[in-house]
Amino acid sequence: MASSSRKLLSPLANTLKQGLRGGSFRGYTAIASSAEQTVSNCGDEERRHPDDEIEKIRRQFDAAKRSFLKIPEALKGMPKMDPKGIYVNKNLILKDVQVYGFDYDYTLAHYSTDLQSLIYDLATEYMVNEFRYPDVCATLKYDPTFPIRGLYYDKKNGCLLKLDFFGSIESDGCYFGRRKLSRKEIDKIYGTRHIGREQARGLAGLMDLFCFSEACLLADLVQLFVDAKLEFDASYIYQDVRLAIQHVHRSGLVHRGILSDPHKYLVKNRQVLQFLRMLREKGKKLFLLTNSPYYFVDGGMHFMLEDSLGYNDSWRELFDVVIAKANKPDFYTSDHPFRCYDTEKDNLAFTKVDAFLPDKVYYHGCLKHFLQITRWNGPEVIYFGDHLFSDLRGPSKAGWRTAAIIHELESEICIQNTDRYRSEQAKFHILQELLGKLHATIADSQRSNAYQLLLDDLNVERLRARQTMKEMFNKSFGATFLTDTGQESAFAYHIHQYADAYTSKPENFLLYPPEAWLHVPFDIKIMPHHVKVPASLFKNE
């Protein structure tokens, strides 16, 4: 997220401001246009004495606090978003889609939270045994309450960051180890909260669900070195953690661990089979494209589908093409040939692959050769995946349609639908407007003790509402899609950039007709699953 992002999005930002003036429920920032309706009628343009203005805003603040008691009643008429809905960034006509492609991990396969602990434990064991990290590292445990998806690790400074839509550090979303840094500490390290082009090159994005354990381990190791008062280079920690996580996956340690106890790690889901079969019955072509090895996918699919009603056939018969160990994202840019994999002998054939045969499995390959063989081009293809960079960026640039699978979406929408969250959101918007009015009407030279008292009171109430909203999602970093101030996060930016549609699970498509036209809502600003509570709903007395 470099400074160029702000430049790129400036026309969009102007559109957002215009949309806010239109009074739409969905918005990017607090509803500025509703200030006049919410707190008072400000048509009086006469120049007032500063004390009069302060007293007027104080009365509006007191009235706003009384109106907070009525917010739950006012919210009953607000629309609620569907936790299992499909949300669209670009219009998608399903009847025109003839080919459905799928990633495996966290797309077709659903995992329990125990998987993060497994990856974390295997990685720390490897770092102690191979990289000679202190033995105490083996006693560290994964903390599921700490990380969220979409964070960035600063390889130079060792900080774990949450960025907003425009690439600025969230003021309460910067951790050094497990300690949250203050705004003064952030300014001291970075000079500004906005991450520039050069600084962005030193950030590593943690964008998929496998990165939960990685983010937690990075923070825990930094904290361990800090507590031990040992000097360290933050880039070395990142390099070692990355190598350990890669080893856990590439060596098959995590794959064997999952298959040794599938009931603990894998979640059975009959709806996946129902969705795939529905697509086959509608005459759609299906392919599987995954980085995982075949034996792991085969074991997982058999476990997940073995109890499905009427399941007698091989899961491979559901797919026209099965590609494993694809090495995404290099798959989309390389020139690697496909190899036919012998599932019985566990080896690769030497014959050239110029056609995909039924009931065969293929390894490696590249997008260029895939398109040459299948002739599946452009918008007739949609690909489902959970990693915005490894899975979706390549297909998006190749002209395919893309669907991001974001498991957290379901729970976050459920939270956003609650009266408690919406009440706090409305409070935050009202308080934000009053603060803006206070700053706009009182000159620096006219700021009195009464001004400072009111400013402090407003800031305390706003911070309380902001913190309450954050902790409803995650105490450390808040919501995946939103910053504490209600703006979209950098993770939301990447979804907007690379996903035509997004949903919590592929089988949510069963809730829509296969010929449906999924369109962008007319009042959309950034993320279509966000409904912002306008302060104009609440009239002060």
Task: Report, as residue numbers or ranges, the catalytic residues.
Answer: 103, 105
Amino acid (one-letter) located at 16: L
- For 173, phi and psi rounded to 5 degrees? -125, 40
Residue 107 is given by DSSP the state T
C-beta pairs of 268-273 under 8 Å, 24+ apart in sequence = 268/303, 268/304, 268/305, 268/307, 269/110, 269/304, 269/505, 269/507, 270/305, 270/307, 270/308, 270/309, 271/505, 271/507, 271/510, 272/108, 272/304, 272/305, 272/506, 272/507, 273/305, 273/308, 273/311, 273/318
Query: 405: which strand partners?
Result: 503
Give, for 367, the enclosing helix (H) or strand (E).
Answer: helix 367-374
Could you tell me which of 402, 399, 480, 312 has the C-alpha nearest to residue 88?
Answer: 402
Largest CA distance in the chain: 88
* Residue 105 marked ligand-binding: yes
DSSP character string of 504-526: S-GGGGGGS-TT-EE---TT-SS
What does the alpha-carbon distance between residue 38 and residue 465 come to, in Å, rounded to a whole number? Answer: 18
SS3 for 16-68, per residue?
HHHHHHCCCCCCCCCCHHHHHHHHCCCCCCCCCCHHHHHHHHHHHHHHHHHHH
SS3 for 312-361, per residue?
CCCHHHHCCEEEECCCCCHHHCCCCCEEEEECCCCEECCCCCCCCCCCCE
Could you tell me which of 98, 101, 95, 99 has the C-alpha nearest to residue 517?
Answer: 95
* Residue 44 marked ligand-binding: no
What does the alpha-carbon distance between residue 366 and residue 504 come to, in Å, rounded to a whole number? Answer: 28
Amino acid (one-letter) located at 413: I
Residue 164 is given by DSSP the state B
Rg (CA), the chain: 26
Query: 154: which strand partners?
Result: 203
Q: Which two tokens stand for residue 407?
A: 């498991």
CA distances (Å), 262 to each of 102, 144, 267, 299, 405, in order? 21, 20, 8, 9, 22
* Residue 143 marked ligand-binding: no
Detail the residues annotated as belonging to a binding site: 103, 105, 386
Detail the residues annotated as belonging to a binding site for GMP: 105
Detail the residues annotated as belonging to a binding site for Mg(2+): 103, 386
